[in-house]
Chain A
Amino acid sequence: MSNQNQQAVARYQNNFLKEVEDRVEDGDWVKMCMQCGVCAGSCPLGDAWEHTPQKIFMMIRAGKREEVLKSDAMWMCTSCYNCIVRCPRKLPITHIMHGLANYAHRMNLAPQRQPTRVIAKIFWDNLVKTGRVNELKFSLAMYFKDGFSQGIKNAMAMQSAGLGLMKAKRLNPFEIFGGHKCKDSSGIKKMIAKAREIEDRKKGYTPL
């Protein structure tokens, strides 16, 4: 993965804007930002961010690659879409934030313990195994993400909710043994691999 990052640095030299345009979802919109600040001011989580979208766009243009990709700012986006609605230039800001987060993850520069990144990884790994989300395993993985003893504490704290879900038949304890799957798990895996291959080709990644 870090190899992937070195290749990107070598390829784009100091032209981070070009890199974002080529490789980040909706990244070609970044140059359209006129720095008015409405996204930053409209964001309901605005002051919880390290950098606002407005600032991130300027940092991209200024070539601050490491600072942007290592930041946890874009991981804070909750997809409320306020910025997209208000942007006077109709930049798809929410999508760019998710695109940047995804790219930072692929470059392995995103903060390791960033909660949104952790949950996204757990969710993805869970999903691609069988083509279905195994809710029991997903919840357990979330409980134990910060270690075994913390996991037990989390599970105890959530005990009544878990039992309630079981009673309502929303949670099946037998899911722990493999769980439900889609009819053609290997087909799903092939499909995802193909999608990845197409994306890599489009965005000019060297094959892993």
Chain B
Amino acid sequence: MTDSIATSQTILVVGGGISGMTAALEAAECGKQVMLIERNATLGGRTSLLYRYFPKMCHPTCGLEINLRRLKGNRNVRVMTMTQVVSVIGSRGDYTVTLKVAPRYVNDHCTGCGDCAKAVEAEIDNPYEYGLAKTKAAYLPHAMAYPQRYVIDASIINTPDGEKALAACKVGAVDLAMQEETIVVKVGTVVWATGWKPYDAAKIQPYGYDRYANVITSLEFERLADPKGPTGGKLLRPSDGREAKNIAFIQCAGSRDENHLRHCSRICCMASLKQTQYVREAYGDAGKSTVYYIDLRTIDRLEDFYVKVQKDTTVSFVKSKVAKIVEDKDANPVLHGVDTEGYHRYATAHDLVVLAVGMEPEANGIKLPDDMLLDSSGFIEGSRDEGMFGAGAATSPLDVNRSVQSATAAALRAIKVVYKTATVEG
């Protein structure tokens, strides 16, 4: 299938996380035509997998709800999920983009009733739980999913399970014959809001993320704390399901390290400080959080939050980059190192270790057009022809607040390109 569905005045936004949604909405609300494409089955990206935001400790569902409301009320945005960019050719104001749409096996008749999930027996790793939980092979990504449509995993196509899903659907939404499609569109500008991914913690060999069950990443900890997550919001140790009350947070797990990521990921200090408050929320004074850090970087007004956490008696701070982790006979991770304030050698056991993993550009795994300019860590700086832009965490390690600012700026830059195109075309 190759037909043109856009003109060169269209803005293409790649990535439907908080940055992509924002960029798309800001441009659309200015009256521009926008295509918002997302690789996954739902919009929302990594923010929708967080339990709370810092510094106000509010839930991401709130902001997402507002954005989804804006999206539903705007006729200028066309949303395509399960869609990836294959290639971009052309130049500023006139790009030809080839998109690949993966089959969802569920069409837009879906009412989200969940009958297919009840019928299907096969289970897959839940892609929205960082491997902490399983889900049925017919599933709704998560409670805030947009569109609210089920997905049938490709692994059950041509199996009896696939037929069960088809039989269970009362509204004829299951379409097992759906095929991958290739679409070619003409657009004026592209905003790359491709976001970030956590640094692979297993590469930090001395921390044993790949060897010790009770060493987890900060993102997995978000899922543990979330009432909608795999443990129903209880902070349970992966090894034995016991409640983890004495939790260590290791900062700069991968960041600021010539052997791993050269840059400071900027958000992890605040993320860990925030997560110490999950521990307090769960256990009150009976919880214990220890933050191991090189130095804590809480920029401008966020420092107020740091000051607040410093006053919390359940939270202590150790100025030291942990040298290594070993496991004792009860599967407790024991942290070894030397602290910088007095040079004391320590070997401290905790119930659970949370690695504040660094942010790596997701685009490190995506083939971007050759025209893109990247910094030394792979973050997007722009394009040589100044017709494509980065937005949000694709450009730099940013928190949600700053991602939204960055996305709004990218929307304005994109509008400028489209405006010039429109003027030239008269």
What residues of chain A have their CB less than 8 Å away from a CB belonging to chain B?
34-38, 40-42, 46-47, 51-52, 54-55, 85-90
For B343, give its contact among A36, A40, A85, A89 (CB under 8 Å): A40
Sorted from nearest, which 10 A-B pairs have the closest CB atoms? A41-B323, A36-B321, A41-B337, A40-B338, A88-B257, A90-B258, A37-B320, A36-B294, A37-B338, A42-B323
Report A-chain residues with C-beta under 8 Å of the C-beta of B322: 41
CB pair B323 A86 closer than 8 Å? yes
CB pair A54 B323 closer than 8 Å? no
**Does more than half of chain B's interface fall in helix, strand or loop, or is it mixed?**
loop
Residue in A closest to B259 when the chains form the complex, CB atoms: A88
For B294, give its contact among A34, A51, A90 (CB under 8 Å): A34
Distance of A146 Cα from B260 Cα, bound (Å): 48
Q: A46-B345, A52-B343 are in contact. Are A38 and B258 (CB under 8 A)?
A: no
For B323, give its contact among A34, A38, A47 (CB under 8 Å): A38
Residue in B closest to A85 when the chains form the complex, CB atoms: B259
Report A-chain residues with C-beta under 8 Å of the C-beta of B340: 35-37, 54
Distance of A46 Cα from B344 Cα, bound (Å): 11
Q: A47-B345, A88-B256 are in contact. Are A37 and B321 (CB under 8 A)?
A: yes
B260 to A: closest C-beta gap in Å:
8
Report A-chain residues with C-beta under 8 Å of the C-beta of B260: 88
Taking residues whose C-beta sits less than 8 angstroms from the other chain, chain B's interface range is: 20 to 34
B152 is an interface residue with CB less than 8 A from chain A: no
Assuming A36-B340, A38-B337, what are 16 further A-B pairs, CB within 8 angstroms?
A: A36-B252, A37-B323, A37-B337, A37-B339, A37-B340, A38-B323, A40-B337, A41-B337, A42-B206, A42-B323, A42-B324, A46-B345, A52-B343, A55-B343, A85-B259, A86-B206
A136 to B: closest C-beta gap in Å:
43
Residue in A closest to B320 when the chains form the complex, CB atoms: A37
CB pair B258 A41 closer than 8 Å? no
Q: Can you report 29 A-B residue pairs in the complex whose CB atoms are below 8 A from each other?
A: A34-B294, A35-B340, A36-B252, A36-B320, A36-B321, A37-B321, A37-B338, A38-B323, A38-B337, A41-B320, A41-B321, A41-B323, A41-B324, A41-B345, A42-B206, A42-B323, A46-B345, A51-B343, A52-B343, A54-B340, A54-B343, A55-B343, A85-B259, A86-B206, A86-B259, A88-B252, A88-B256, A88-B258, A90-B258
Report A-chain residues with C-beta under 8 Å of the C-beta of B206: 42, 86
| CB interface residues, B 330-355, toward A, < 8 Å | 336-340, 343, 345
Report B-chain residues with C-beta under 8 Å of the C-beta of A55: 343
Distance of A54 Cα from B321 Cα, bound (Å): 12
Report A-chain residues with C-beta under 8 Å of the C-beta of B257: 88
Distance of A89 Cα from B260 Cα, bound (Å): 10
A207 to B: closest C-beta gap in Å:
39
Distance of A99 Cα from B342 Cα, bound (Å): 25
Report B-chain residues with C-beta under 8 Å of the C-beta of A41: 320-324, 336-338, 345
Distance of A35 Cα from B339 Cα, bound (Å): 9
Report A-chain residues with C-beta under 8 Å of the C-beta of B320: 36-37, 41
B296 to A: closest C-beta gap in Å:
13
Report A-chain residues with C-beta under 8 Å of the C-beta of B323: 37-38, 40-42, 86
